[in-house]
Chains A and B, each alone.
Chain A
């Protein structure tokens, strides 16, 4: 599996994920249309295609051929590895403010 962090580091790739979140199962044509109309990303189809390859290598996007067309689906499973690596610390009591006057107030 490719690098999830590298895949997420690019704003155009994050925009692709945003659009696939809105509607999974898009053709390259629909994705390019959404990128240019909603995000002002005027990348060529080849460039968007290469971004999709990086996202696919990271497991964030899967492409499927259905008949004569190719659709792209979102898969957020790889993002779980991030949460699992840095889970929130177990709940602990909030530190109490120290007794006495604040430092530097004497």
Chain B
């Protein structure tokens, strides 16, 4: 058994595809029309055969209250790994991305939290090889 897919609820699939590809830098992998919506997935260009993210419509009535409550408290439900959080924050801010948490080093990890404009907060995480104290 392997992990192949993970889902993110989005309020608009077309807008989400643009954000996840043009802004974050992922690549479209699957786009299959399914009635009103699409089966739409993206992958990291660094791992084109790796885990796919399904950009899932948030049409079910339970989804919006759930995601809105998480966002209000600043909680990122999904995290992506990066080599350099500060560099990504600088790059993404240049593209107009809004961050609800600036880079914060907590022991072995530095994180930041961004708004994906589709109803979610996303955490960027960088593991530090030295595992040293903050600084």
- Minimum CB–CB distance for B58 against chain A, Å: 14
In the complex, which residues 1-55 of chain A have their Cβ closer than 8 Å to any Cβ of chain B?
23, 26-30, 33-34, 37-38, 45
Chain B's interface size range is 10 to 19
Residue of A23, A29, A37, A38 touching B74 (CB-CB under 8 A)? A29
B106–A69 contact, CB under 8 A? no
List of A residues within 8 angstroms of B113 by Cβ: 27, 29-30
List of A residues within 8 angstroms of B71 by Cβ: 68-69
Question: Is B63 interfacial (CB-CB < 8 Å)?
Answer: no
Residue of A23, A33, A45 touching B106 (CB-CB under 8 A)? A33
- Minimum CB–CB distance for A100 against chain B, Å: 57
Question: Is A70 interfacial (CB-CB < 8 Å)?
Answer: yes
Which of B73, B75, B113 is packed against the most chain A CB atoms within 10 Å?
B73
Residue of B73, B107, B111 touching A27 (CB-CB under 8 A)? B73
Residue of B68, B75, B102, B106 touching A29 (CB-CB under 8 A)? B75
List of B residues within 8 angstroms of A65 by Cβ: 72
Complex-state Cα separation, A29 to B102, whole angstroms? 12
Question: What residues make up the interface of A, taking CB atoms closer than 8 Å to B?
Answer: 23, 26-30, 33-34, 37-38, 45, 65, 68-71
